Amino acid sequence: MSKAIKQNLADSKKMSAELFCLTYGAMVTEMLKDYEDPKDVTIQLDKMGFNMGTRLADDFLAKNANVPRCVDTRQIADVLCRNAIPCYLGISATASSWTSGDREFTITLEANPLTELVQVPAHLVSAGLSYSQLIAGAIRGALEAVHFKVYASATDTGANTEIRIRFDQVLKDSLPAGEDD
Amino acid sequence: MSKAIKQNLADSKKMSAELFCLTYGAMVTEMLKDYEDPKDVTIQLDKMGFNMGTRLADDFLAKNANVPRCVDTRQIADVLCRNAIPCYLGISATASSWTSGDREFTITLEANPLTELVQVPAHLVSAGLSYSQLIAGAIRGALEAVHFKVYASATDTGANTEIRIRFDQVLKDSLPAGEDD
């Protein structure tokens, strides 16, 4: 584990990734029973992630006063890969595959704690289940809380997890989530 | 954080307790929508915990070859409080309130990562929701995997979480979960 990740984890309360992995697996199994279409589970995971992301953004900003204000997508990717993802998932991540004038990029998670002990059946993936969409939703929610509207989708490749992020717009006129009361 | 907890966490992959807390909250919210009776959510959390516990027992035994074989409830409580709970939840725990000739005891979690950022509405608690029953179920599952049949129920007191454990019997003739194939 690199020094940067150790430092980020030191700022946060820690627990076992195995327990999280099993709890998440139980939750997705539960949702697959409730929704007939695996695509609907993906949508639901995305929504849950979004709501968590808006709260995690507050938590992250409170703990990382030294992180500079981002003005472009390269900086956003840098903070996500170097600070936020190591802090909350305890893993490192890299940004690559920049396209559309830096408006789109892919974050690759070196190891995904959600899928560590889990084998997602291929027929559910073909039917539209994106098992790790919670993480993509959380990134979307966290960025929306700091005025960046993005689209995010997760793909578990087997070897790792890729989150494709597409920047949409800066939300200039609306207040970030959690500051409207 | 005590040295023992640091050591236990070092043996396990780590991640942020905040992320786990929010994911768990989202899961319970989802389940409350699906089941009309909060009591049914408690039963479901207990079952999910049980299944997780049987898997965590394997994981725990694989990582803790030095933990002695338990022959009585005092030793079980000791391993739970000193090794297993610190390892998976990243917190310390104490056993107390021994009754019925050591057949019943209470494990008090000093801080519960599940409830850290969560306020469980009082009307759901009165209606039978035991928010942290996943932990009680996991303890029940883990002990059953090593041949101890117990009953376990969780109570969030506001200040902390208490898990009441009642020993039922030693399962002598059945194979532990995961070893029957």
Give the model confidence (pLDDT) of A136-169 as tens digits: 999 999 999 999 999 999 999 888 999 999 999 9
Q: Which of A31, A44, A88 lies at the smallest CB-CB distance from B18?
A: A88
Closest CA to B130 of B148, B103, B157: B157
pTM: 0.84
Could you tell me if A86 and A118 are in contact, meaning their C-beta atoms sit under 8 angstroms apart? Answer: no
Output the average pLDDT for chain A: 89
Could you state, in order of their start, the residue ranges of all structural domains in chain A? 17-170
**A80 three-state secondary structure:** helix
Of the pLDDT bands very low, low, confident and very high (cuts 50, 70, 90), residue A4 is low
Q: Which residues pair with B150 in a beta bridge?
A: B167
Which residue in chain B has the smallest CA separation from A34? B34
CB contact residues (below 8 A), chain A span 12-71, against chain B: 12-20, 22-24, 26-27, 30-31, 34, 44, 48, 51-52, 55-56, 59
Of the pLDDT bands very low, low, confident and very high (cuts 50, 70, 90), residue B175 is low
Q: Are A16 and B88 in contact (CB < 8 Å)?
A: yes
Does B181 score more than 50 pLDDT? Answer: no
ipTM given for this complex: 0.81
Of the pLDDT bands very low, low, confident and very high (cuts 50, 70, 90), residue A175 is low
State how far the alpha carbon of A68 is from the alpha carbons of A10, A34, A79, A84, B144, in Å. Answer: 20, 43, 9, 13, 51
Q: Which residues pair with A150 in a beta bridge?
A: A167
CA distance A47 to A29: 17
Give the model confidence (pLDDT) of B83-117 as tens digits: 999 999 999 999 999 999 999 999 999 899 999 88
Q: Can you identify the CATH homologous superfamily of domain B17-170?
A: Trafficking protein particle complex subunit 3 (3.30.1380.20)
Does B7 score more than 60 pLDDT? Answer: no
CB contact residues (below 8 A), chain A span 152-181, against chain B: none
Give me the pLDDT at residue B117, please.
86
SS (H, E, C) A135-170: HHHHHHHHHHHCCEEEEEEEEECCCCEEEEEEEEEE
Give me the pLDDT at residue B135, please.
97
Does A181 score more than 50 pLDDT? Answer: no
End-to-end CA gap in chain A:
40
Does B161 score more than 80 pLDDT? Answer: yes
Could you tell me if B142 and B152 are in contact, meaning their C-beta atoms sit under 8 angstroms apart? Answer: no
**A149 three-state secondary structure:** strand
Does A1 score more than 70 pLDDT? Answer: no
Mutate to test the interface with B, among A2, A5, A6, A15 (most CBs of B within 10 A): A15
Give the model confidence (pLDDT) of A8-35 as tens digits: 555 567 888 889 999 999 999 989 988 8
Give the model confidence (pLDDT) of A120-143 as tens digits: 999 999 999 999 999 999 999 999
Q: Which of B18, B24, B59 lies at the smallest CB-CB distance from A23?
A: B24
Mutate to test the interface with B, among A19, A83, A114 (most CBs of B within 10 A): A19
Give me the pLDDT at residue B49, please.
95
Look up residue B106 and give its two tokens: 């209470």
Give the model confidence (pLDDT) of B105-155 as tens digits: 999 998 999 998 889 999 999 999 999 999 999 999 999 999 999 999 999
Per-residue pLDDT averaged across B66-94, rounded? 92
Give me the pLDDT at residue B173, please.
66
